[in-house]
Amino acid sequence: MSEIFKGIEPMVHNSKISVPYSWWAGDTASKFFISLRDARKIIAPRCGKCGKVFMPPRKVCPTCFTENTDWVDVSDEGTVVSYSVSRRQLEAIPGDKKVPVIWGLIKLDGADTALLHYLDEVDPGSVTIGMRVKAVFAESRTGGIRDISHFKPVK
């Protein structure tokens, strides 16, 4: 590095900007979250044209481009499509989760797309693609995706 400093001490300026955001989930996602929170039930919208069932819920089918008005019940059990194990405690990992954190893409029975969520109550080394898992609901639910605490293997 010495050749680029040319003997001049590099000054640095640290930001004190703070920009907190509030993200509205919208009617479609809110309907899903209310069902999770109040009834521990997983529901999903279905495209009236191609019949695809979307997880996470979608207001409009991305391929048919028509509004999804039907809702169907989706199982709380599903299959692991892919997964990884985070080994570094990054700032962006929620504070209540300690590495190794396992997350998976889970295709719930009755849905056509996978839901991203945590896997737990399982050793990181024994997770496999194709594994059957079941939702564990959080005791305290506030109307977000973490009203499902995690997914655990089906015994």
Residues forming contacts to other proteins in the complex (CB under 8 A) are 1, 4-6, 8, 10, 12, 15, 17, 21, 23, 25, 29, 55-56, 62, 81-88, 90-94, 103, 105-107, 113-118, 124, 128-130, 144-146
Q: How far is the CB of 105 from other proteins (least distance, A)?
A: 5
Q: How far is the CB of 139 from other proteins (least distance, A)?
A: 18
In contact, 32 and 144? CB cutoff 8 Å: no
Residue 101's contacts (CB-CB under 8 Å, 6 or more residues apart) are 85, 86, 93, 118
- The nearer residue to other proteins, 129 or 154, going by C-beta atoms, is 129
What the block records as the tokens of 136 is 């564990």
- The nearer residue to other proteins, 40 or 86, going by C-beta atoms, is 86
Q: How far is the CB of 12 from other proteins (least distance, A)?
A: 7
- The nearer residue to other proteins, 22 or 39, going by C-beta atoms, is 22
Helices (H), the chain: 2-5, 26-39
Alpha-carbon torsion 58, 64, 67, 68, what sign?
negative
In contact, 110 and 71? CB cutoff 8 Å: no
Q: How far is the CB of 137 from other proteins (least distance, A)?
A: 15
